[in-house]
Amino acid sequence: MAARTMQAARCPTDELSLTNCAVVSEKDLQSGQHVTVKTTPNHKFVFTVKTHHTVSPGSIAFSLPQRKWAGLSIGQEVEVANYNFDKSKQCIGAMTIEIDFLQKKSTDSSPYDSDKMAAEFIQQFNNQAFSVTQQLVFSFCDKLFGLMVKDIEAMDASILRGETASGKKQKIDIGLMVGNSQVIFEKAESSSLTLVGKAKTKEARQTIINPEWNFEKMGIGGLDKEFSSIFRRAFASRVFPPDIVEQMGCKHVKGIMLFGPPGCGKTLMARQIGKMLNAREPKVVNGPEILNKYVGESEANIRKLFADAEEEQKRLGANSGLHIIIFDELDAICKQRGTGASSTGVHDTVVNQLLSKIDGVEQLNNILVIGMTNRPDLIDDALMRPGRFEVKMEISLPDEKGRVQILTIHTNKMRSFNLLAPDVDIKELAAETKNYSGAELEGLVRAAQSTAMNRHIKATSTVEVDMERAEKLQVTRSDFMGSLNNDIKPAFGTNQEDYSNYIMNGIIKWGDPVTHVLDDGELLIQQTKNSDRTPLVAVLLEGPPHCGKTALAAKIAEDSQFPFIKICSPDKMIGYSEIAKCQAIKKVFDDACKSQLSCVVVDDIERLLDYVPIGPRFSNLVLQALLVLLKRAPPKGRKLLIIGTTSRKDVLQEMEMLDAFSTTIHIPNISTGEQLVDALELLGNFTDKERANIAHQLKGKRVWIGIKKLLVLIEMSLQMDQEYRVTKFLSLLRDEGADRSFYE
């Protein structure tokens, strides 16, 4: 509006005096407008106005503190004009206010919480204009206080643009109070008022996230990148003044889904998240706690979680504070709808209730829901769309740098009390603990502590601690290495017993074919490690039964030194149904994708497929699963080597499975007498004289026997008396080769 002349009047009610607004008729102005009141040619004052029916048109009513501040008298004519704030420069970042009891008679010595006072002040006077030297009355805990604005700092423009705070402090004379302004109270010099809380001292303005937060202090290691990414994404829009966010039509991120293997720090983050946020204490809920056997109670429990946020949004609108709700084990309550075995569909209604609360018709904009699960595949799809759990972050196994952080956290206390021996090298331990999760690393430290303590216990008829030696207790490198080898094994790691059983007799290099296979295996390992173009390498070792395919596959896997090695073998799936077998195979491949470098040995493929030549019969379900999994590339940044073994290449050819492998390596049987004698020499079971006798008998002859079967025949012959051993061995060898001419 253009400037107009109005008459100053007395504020009609005491209640309106406490609003800090100039009161006008609704015919002149609208509530919430800002105006300049010009009292003399050189004096202008900015007020926020409020309408009231008792004020006559053409009048503008002021409270006593306002009249004192502006030097106004009743009936004085003033010039009133609209005032528009520049939101980029005039939002209040921090405001210092001098406070005292309004009436000296009503003083008391009880302490007043300045933090609650500041929160109440922002609620009462949100979106109002304030000027330096302005006086006003403030009601708090049924007491009236006289306030005077001492100092105003503008909100840092770089924060409004979503950048890091520049640190520049810009003083202003007039500013607009917004929901995340900081209010600092200072008591007047002669006042007897007692203030407690943080808002009584001037601190650097804080955003919702503390950018210099140290995750190691929180006891969370190896997740710095993930955490900074989560908080940048979830809180960037919450740093802006609420009215600017509203003008942009921007909606805050309401949900974050954290998923990943067990023991990687998802729940630990939930325990600590309140410490890194300048928000209300988060509500931490375990998924199963929501469920209740009574009909409707589970849904009511969900509603209760959101009740505070709903009430505050109705009261304060865009200026409501942030409410954080953390769901641990989210898959317990948010399974895919329609999959429950029970006919009541209780799970479905709980999911429906949660969906409507996070982003339903009456949507809340002041909540952040953080869900955690290690089974993201079970979660209902509707929860994962933008507007609900839109930020999805994998909390995966820690890398070497992360493992150093985690081990440092768990050994810090020991180090400070000089209980960690100087020979313990955290970097060495981190290099040795590939594929260990955070929880397993903590378990490793505990196991090493137990080993060290055990050295100081006297093994007498009673258990006693040797106190003299206990005072010199130190956890050494050997304690850690012992625990590493014997106690704590990674769930997503290499189980040495798995493949060591297959190569317990070692690899017998009876000829060039074996050497060539191992050389090719080394090339494939290097290709998997170094090539970015082929993150998935699949090789098939095929050959007749008992030729040592599985032992060679296990040897190649062992030589790779990959942090994840698993053997997918039919002997672990005896009696499994087709579906159970598919799920077991899929789990091996899924687990392999969680590690940076993985090797999976798929042993005896025709047995996995339940193939028999009579019929012929095989499991099509398992075949299709294997065809898909063998071709499925690992996620970006991960590498996978697959080694398959089979005795029936022809069958796999018919099933179109050979195409799923990058390359096929043939492993032959021992086929000449010379190769067989070389094998006997390497095994060293017969004496030199016996070997010479066998060599003479086999000279120039063709044989056909697998190394595995050869070992059985040798061991059988060795049970005879010495003079009959060679004869028995040659007889067994002749019987073994009866179906193929033993002598040419």
Short-list 473, 481, 434, CA closest to 454? 473
- Is 631 one of the catalytic residues? yes
Short-list 626, 617, 628, 632, CA closest to 644? 626
The DSSP 8-state label assigned to residue 475 in this structure reads B
Instruction: Determine the 3-state secondary structure of 203 from DSSP.
Output: coil
Active-site residue, from 604, 645, 646, 709 = 604
Given the structure tokens 């109670």, which residue do they identify?
297
- Is 143 one of the catalytic residues? no
- Find the largest Cα–Cα distance for the chain: 135
- Token pair, residue 631, equals 């071709």
How much of the chain is helix, strand and coil, in % rounded to 5?
Answer: 40, 20, 35
- Rounded distance between C-alpha atoms, residue 660 and residue 638, angstroms: 19
- Rounded distance between C-alpha atoms, residue 475 and residue 478, angstroms: 8
Q: How far apart are the first and last CA of the chain?
A: 115
- Rounded distance between C-alpha atoms, residue 389 and residue 129, angstroms: 38
Active-site residue, from 411, 433, 550, 645 = 550
Evaluate the omega torsion of the peptide bond into residue 262 and state whether it is cis, within 30 degrees of 0: no
The DSSP 8-state label assigned to residue 516 in this structure reads H
Residue 627 buriedness (CB in 10 A; 0-12 / 13-18 / 19+): middle
- Rounded distance between C-alpha atoms, residue 113 and residue 195, angstroms: 6
Radius of gyration of the chain (CA): 39
Given the structure tokens 């030194």, which residue do they identify?
561
Evaluate the omega torsion of the peptide bond into residue 613 and state whether it is cis, within 30 degrees of 0: no
Judge whether 621 and 609 are in contact, CB under 8 Å: no
- Token pair, residue 739, equals 């179906």
Residue 315 buriedness (CB in 10 A; 0-12 / 13-18 / 19+): exposed
- Is 586 one of the catalytic residues? no
Cβ-proximal residues to 312 (8 Å cutoff; 6+ apart), any chain: 320, 321, 323, 366
Outline where DSSP puts E strands in 70-217: 77-82, 92-101, 111-113, 129-131, 135-140, 143-154, 174-176, 182-187, 194-196
Q: What is the dihedral of CA 466, 469, 471, 477, to 10 degrees?
A: -120
Active-site residue, from 100, 243, 603, 646 = 603
Q: Strand order in 283-286's β-sheet?
A: 283-286, 323-328, 367-373, 255-259, 389-394
Q: How far is C-alpha 440 from the geometric centre of its chain's CA atoms?
A: 16
Given the structure tokens 């997503």, which residue do they identify?
492
Q: Which amino acid is located at 687 in the chain? A: T
- Token pair, residue 544, equals 């007749």
Short-list 451, 392, 90, CA closest to 257? 392
Instruction: Determine the 3-state secondary structure of 42 from DSSP.
Output: coil
Residue 503: phi, psi to the nearest 5? Answer: -125, 35
- Is 549 one of the catalytic residues? yes
- Token pair, residue 387, equals 């507007």
- Is 108 one of the catalytic residues? no
Judge whether 726 and 694 are in contact, CB under 8 Å: yes
Judge whether 114 and 195 are in contact, CB under 8 Å: yes
Given the structure tokens 């940048």, which residue do they identify?
232
Residue 548: phi, psi to the nearest 5? Answer: 95, 25
Short-list 363, 362, 364, 356, CA closest to 380? 356
Q: Which amino acid is located at 320 in the chain? A: S
What are the C-alpha distances in Å from 126 to residues 11, 137, 314?
Answer: 20, 15, 15
- Token pair, residue 24, equals 């006008």
Instruction: Determine the 3-state secondary structure of 6 from DSSP.
Output: strand
Active-site residue, from 549, 566, 639, 709 = 549
Residues labelled catalytic: 549-550, 603-604, 631, 708
